[in-house]
């Protein structure tokens, strides 16, 4: 490996939070100097450490192209996808790498996302189509598709959960990605569950638990805007409440008028 000097601005120094429940102590921090090459990203640097320095270093990855969502981690306090983070911006200073916050750590940078996927499965994230004749197709206007487009981009990386104060406070909060997905099906004209979806998110575990601080929108690597979805669902719930109050008031006044 290349020898590093104190002022070496091309050096990649990664200080990684490690965890192995079978070791004593189970938690420690370890620093690795990594030889870089042009165009290298952080995931490649971690793979290089695994190949050349410590095969026990554990982290998740699969696609290497910002598609599978498995390489999310905290880098110098910011949540990113490692495969999308060029090392150029990290050279010359020590870079601190930590696992995604708010999830239990299994090993090194690997976290247990069971709760995330439990919440995800809970909203049944697939189309519940409206009944149509067997010789017809489901139709969708271009404008309707545009409304749900940003939410389709989600890769389930969990970064929005790691920056969400509401999820940090209460693990039962459904979380930004899940509420964004609920909105995606709510606005899909082919899905028949409008009321069911709104009922499912109409409490403190759902849209009313969000602090609307837009951290998820800022952090999402795929530009999904979960807070916008949450605000729109709140608006829809309030409109329903108002309409039902108004019609109750109307029928009451009619009853009184007919006496
Ligand atoms: S909404 Fe964005 S940050 Fe959240 S899981 Fe989906 S892609 Fe990741
Ligand atoms: S390896 Fe798939 S998103 Fe990074």
Domains with residue ranges and CATH for the chain: 12-109 (3.10.20.30), 114-246 (1.10.1060.10)
Query: DSSP letters along 31-58, please?
Result: EEEE---TT-BHHHHHHHHHHHT-TT--
In angstroms, what is the span from residue 235 Cα to ligand 2's centroid? 35
Ligand nearest to the CA of 83: 2
Report the candidate in 179, 192, 189 with the shortest Cα–Cα distance to residue 228.
179
Answer yes or no: is the C-beta of 100 below 6 A from any ligand 1 atom.
no
Residue 86 is classified by DSSP as: B
User: By C-alpha distance, which of 186, 214, 215 is closest to 201?
Assistant: 186
Q: Is the pTM of this model over 0.85?
A: yes
Is 135 a residue whose pLDDT tops 90? yes
CA distance 119 to 175: 8
What ligand 2 atom has the least distance to the C-alpha of 72?
A: 4
* Ligand positioned closest to the Cα atom of 159: 1
Q: What would the 3-class secondary structure string for 198-256 be? A: HHHHCCCCCHHHCCCCCHHHHHCCCCCCHHHHHHHHHHHHHHHHHHHHHHHHHHHHHHH
Q: Express each pLDDT in 146-159 by its tens digit.
A: 999 999 999 999 99
What would the pLDDT profile of 19-28 be if each residue is shown by its tens digit?
Answer: 999 999 999 9
State whether the beta carbon of 176 lies less than 6 angstroms from ligand 1: yes
10 lines ligand 2 (CB under 6 A): no
223 pLDDT exceeds 80? yes
Angle between helices 194-201 and 176-186 (to 10 degrees): 160
Mean pLDDT of 20-43: 97
- What is the structure's pLDDT at 25? 97
The mean pLDDT value for 74-103 works out to 97
Determine if ligand 2 sits within 6 Å of the CB of residue 175. Answer: no
């Amino acid at each position: 490996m290349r020898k590093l000097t104190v002022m070496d601005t091309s050096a990649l120094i990664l200080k990684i939070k490690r965890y192995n429940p079978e070791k004593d102590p189970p938690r420690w921090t370890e620093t690795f100097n990594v030889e870089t090459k042009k165009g290298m990203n952080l995931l490649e640097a971690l793979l290089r450490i695994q190949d050349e320095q410590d095969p026990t270093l554990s982290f998740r990855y699969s696609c290497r192209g910002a598609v599978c969502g498995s390489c999310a981690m905290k880098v110098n306090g910011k949540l990113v996808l490692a495969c999308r983070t060029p090392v150029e911006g990290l050279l010359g200073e020590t870079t601190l790498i930590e696992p995604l916050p708010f999830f239990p750590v299994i090993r090194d940078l690997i976290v247990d996302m069971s709760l995330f996927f439990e919440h995800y499965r809970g909203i049944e994230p697939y189309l519940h189509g409206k009944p149509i004749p067997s010789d017809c197709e489901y139709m969708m206007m271009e404008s309707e598709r545009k409304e749900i487009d940003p939410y389709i981009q989600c890769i389930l990386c969990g970064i929005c959960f790691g920056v969400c104060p509401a999820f940090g406070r209460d693990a039962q909060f459904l979380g930004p990605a899940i509420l964004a997905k609920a909105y995606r099906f709510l606005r899909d004209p082919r899905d028949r569950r409008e009321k069911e979806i709104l009922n499912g998110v109409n409490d403190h575990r759902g849209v009313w638990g969000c602090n609307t601080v837009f951290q998820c929108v800022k952090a999402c690597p795929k530009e999904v805007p979960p807070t916008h979805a949450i605000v729109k669902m709140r608006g829809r719930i309030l409109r329903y409440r108002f309409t039902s109050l108004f019609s109750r008031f109307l029928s009451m006044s009619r009853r009184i008028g007919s006496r």
